[in-house]
Amino acid sequence: MSLTREFVATVYIVNERKVLLVHHKQMGMWLPPGGHIDENELPTTAALREVKEETGLDVELVGEEKDYEQVKILHHPKILQLEDIKPGHQHIDLIYFARMKDKSQKIMLNKEESNEIRWFSEEEFDKVPELVAIQARRAIEELK
């Protein structure tokens, strides 16, 4: 059996000790915004693009980028995970933490991909997959 591995970028957006999650139609569960990294696209660009497409928000990734003469140091993902999607298909997920650039922004639901979108507090994490809750808690702690 052949193996397909695809790179994806995921973003936990934190605001006032809450994390923004979308209820994905295809997956049928609450997840942070994210998706495939397009060919020749930088992971950080994909992360910001996916957030904008799924939520309408402009965010800033946690960490720093730095330019040197011929080298650009990109934001480091906070988590790097390998996920089995189905037999022979895996995702290499670069997971970033982010803040909204402007807290007055309005969330816009992408109805093609999601049923609902909302902020979750830690007390509500029992409604989301266990790994999402673990990673969301980590994002909240890091961004407090």
How do the pLDDT tens digits run along the chain, 144 residues long? 688 999 999 999 999 999 999 999 888 999 999 999 999 999 999 999 999 999 999 999 999 999 999 999 999 999 999 999 999 999 999 999 999 999 889 999 888 888 899 999 999 999 999 999 999 999 999 998
- Number of alpha carbons in the 13 Å side-chain half-sphere of residue 76: 3
pLDDT of the residue at 122: 96
CATH number at residue 106: 3.90.79.10
Interatomic CA distance for residues 23 and 20, integer angstroms: 10
Token pair listed for 100: 């909204």
pLDDT of the residue at 113: 84
pLDDT of the residue at 103: 87
Token pair listed for 46: 């994909």
Token pair listed for 70: 């011929």
Q: Is residue 17 part of a domain?
A: yes
What is the number of structural domains in the chain?
1
Answer yes or no: pTM beyond 0.85.
yes
Domain span at residue 67?
4-123
Q: Is residue 119 part of a domain?
A: yes
- Phi, psi at 89, each rounded to 5°: -135, 120
Tell me how crowded residue 119 is: count the other CB atoms within 10 A of its CB: 15
The overall longest dimension of the chain from CA atoms, in Å, is 50
Q: Is residue 137 part of a domain?
A: no
